[in-house]
Amino acid sequence: MRVLLVEDEPTLRAQLRAGLADAGYAVDDVGNGGDAHHLGANEPFDAVVLDLGLPVLDGLSVLKRWREAGRTMPVLILTARDSWHEKVAGIDAGADDYLAKPFHMEELLARVRALIRRAQGLASPLLQCGAIALDTRSGRVTLDGQPVNLTSHEFRLLAYLMHRPGSVVSRTELTEHLYAQDFDRDSNTIEVFIGRLRRKLPPQTIETVRGMGYRLAAAP
C-alpha cells in the first residue's frame, strides 16, 4: 500500500514518514500544497495523510481540487487542536476522516488502516482468504492458524492482494502501489516476490491471469 504524506513541519513529517514506513507502507512525502496536489493528481495512492496548514497551496484547496478532478483516494486530514470548524470544512471538502494534532502514531496508523480497508469495502481488520488470514493490525499472517513468516516485501504484496480478493491485479498496478516514486521500480521484482510468496502459500492461491496479472483465489 502506498501512502502520500503531506506535512510541512520537518520534524513531524520525518516522524510520520518513519512510522508509516515501519508499518509497511510505501511513503511519498512532500512539504507543500503545490507538490501534494501534483502528486495526488497524477500518482495512485491507497491513502493520503494531509496537513491543512501548508505553504504554496493550503490543504483544503488541495483536497477540493483532487475531488473536483475525480480523485477518490481516502484522505485523512490533520487539523489543529480544538478547531471544529477545520474538521467540518475538511469533511465537506471531501476528507474521509480527521485527526487533531497532537496525536499518537498508533491512532494515525489505525485510521489509515481503516480508510484503506473501507475503500475496498472490507469491514474487518482481519482479512481472510481460504486458510490464509492476514491481521492488518499486527501485520501477522497465518495459514490454517499457523504463522507464516514473510519478509516485509512479501507481506506488502500479499496485503495488497488480500485487500482485493478475486480481482485481477496487473504488475504495473502492483509496482505503483508497493513502491514510492523515488524507488527504483522494476516490474521483474514483482515477479520475483510473487514466486517467493507462492512457495509459502498453498498451491493455486495466487493465479496468473495470462497477459493481465495476478489474482488471489481461496484455495479449494
Percentages helix, strand, coil for the chain (3-state, rounded to 5) are 40, 20, 35
Number of chain positions touching Ca ion (CB under 5 A): 3
- CA-CA distance, 94 to 96, in Å (whole number)? 6
Take residue 76 and report the three cell numbers written for it.
485523512
Contacts (CB under 5 A) with Ca ion, residues 128-157: none
Q: Rule CB under 5 A: which of 151-210 touch Ca ion?
A: none
The closest alpha carbon to 71, from 79, 61, 63, belongs to 63
CB-count exposure of residue 21 (10 Å: 0-12, 13-18, 19+):
middle
Give yes or no for residue 8 binding Ca ion (CB under 5 A): yes
Closer to Ca ion by Cβ: residue 78 or 150: 78
Site string for Ca ion, 61-90 (x = CB under 5 A): ------------------------------
Site membership for Ca ion, residue 35 (CB under 5 A): no
Instruction: Determine which helix (DSSP H) or strand (DSSP E) holds 111, and give its type and residue range.
Output: helix 105-119
Q: Which stretch binds Ca ion (CB under 5 A): 4-12, 27-35, 79-87, 167-175?
A: 4-12
Nearer to Ca ion, 14 or 219 (CB): 14
The helix/strand/coil state of 160 is helix
In 10 A of CB 71, how many CB atoms?
18
At closest approach, how far in Å is the CB of 51 from Ca ion?
Answer: 4
Among 29, 51, 86, 96, binds Ca ion (CB under 5 A): 51
In the complex, the smallest distance separating the C-beta of residue 117 from Ca ion, rounded to whole angstroms, is 27
Q: Which residues are near Ca ion by CB under 5 A?
A: 8, 51, 53
